[in-house]
Homo-oligomer: A and B are copies of this chain.
């Protein structure tokens, strides 16, 4: 294992930080890599730019936005929460209204989750930026992109995102263990004055050490080497191709859900996530049972409905290094698990609908 204090090490660090900007689609933003997870990324984004008592505006439309809000509150921040139905996307209008009402600009930041993994809902970040601009409000825009960045279209500069947060284990196709954030120049300017206590996540140390290509403490070296590989893979394929590939696989999965006569959790088609599909189970069926049967009998890992949605849905992930056949196999597994659990499903109906879609729309080579 290479030595993270050797004179050869900065070359790796600098290549990673350089190429991460292409994943975030930013020229001015500055990425940072922590030996942590996306949850650590939330904390890093908040504590380096805010002070205890600061006010935030946040939308809660699923389990991960609920946890992001909770993280802010634990650090002594006051969060005005806009609650919407789980299954809905972030409502730009309500954000605009709330910001307009904050004439004194007490609200320091807007917190949203780009892709709510818990409900399979992707929100329109560009529309949130437009709402903030329409309100002529200076708050920072904090966006959880843990399950979107590297898989779904994400444009930090174009959308005016100030703090973008992701992890290693989703779009970057690595084991969990890296929390990665990207920080706009506007947000970076606040690091010195932010008064939240911090040490492990302190950007001041990170900025200083990164300048020489080092880290302030031992980095997760094996994951940094892995990150080099996964960035190479993504950039070789091209981000537009990556987005299109996820769209195509997701369309196949949604064709299967239609064929089964079931509904997704996302309440409007424009909110359908291309990385995860949350399928509402029929009345009288326990989603948890389908998930358990899928795992125990068919070796298939489905996601559960969380808190409010517990038992009401199961989630099919379709992110990262998947191909058509793996998706078809997983859909076949869902059919079997649903049958096991008593759902009336015609075997092959969903798989066939997806196969028809995939066959009609040949995948680009990569």
Contact = CB atoms under 8 A, between A and B. Distances in A.
Nearest to A46: B199
22 contacts: A35-B177, A37-B219, A39-B216, A43-B199, A52-B197, A67-B217, A71-B200, A74-B198, A74-B199, A74-B202, A75-B198, A176-B221, A177-B222, A196-B197, A297-B362, A299-B323, A300-B325, A325-B332, A326-B329, A328-B333, A329-B329, A348-B353
A3 B316 CA distance: 13
- When all copies of this chain in the complex are counted, the total is 4
B323 A347 contact: no
A44 to B, nearest CB: 9
A176 B220 contact: yes
A307 interface: no
B324 A299 contact: yes
Interface stretch (A229-237, A271-279, A334-342): A334-342
Interface string A315-328: 00000000111111
Nearest to A74: B199
Contacts of A15: none
Contact of A324 (B39, B223, B298, B324): B298
A351 interface: yes
Given A220-B176, A299-B325, A37 B35 contact: yes
Contacts of A8: 295
A10 interface: no
A356 B351 contact: no
Contacts of A222: 175-177, 222
A143 interface: no
Contacts of A193: none
A216 B111 CA distance: 21
Contact of A176 (B175, B219, B339, B358): B219
A25 B351 CA distance: 40
Contacts of A36: 35-36, 40, 200
A61 interface: no
Interface residues of A, number: 81
Interface of A: 1, 3-8, 35-40, 42-43, 52, 67, 70-71, 74-76, 167, 169, 175-177, 196-202, 216-223, 292, 295-301, 303-304, 323-330, 332-333, 335-336, 339-340, 346-356, 358-359, 362-363
A345 to B, nearest CB: 10
Nearest to A146: B218
A177 B227 CA distance: 14
Given A37-B217, A292-B7, A197 B76 contact: yes
Contact of A363 (B297, B324, B362): B297
A234 to B, nearest CB: 18
B197 A74 contact: yes
A324 B197 CA distance: 46
A363 B333 CA distance: 13
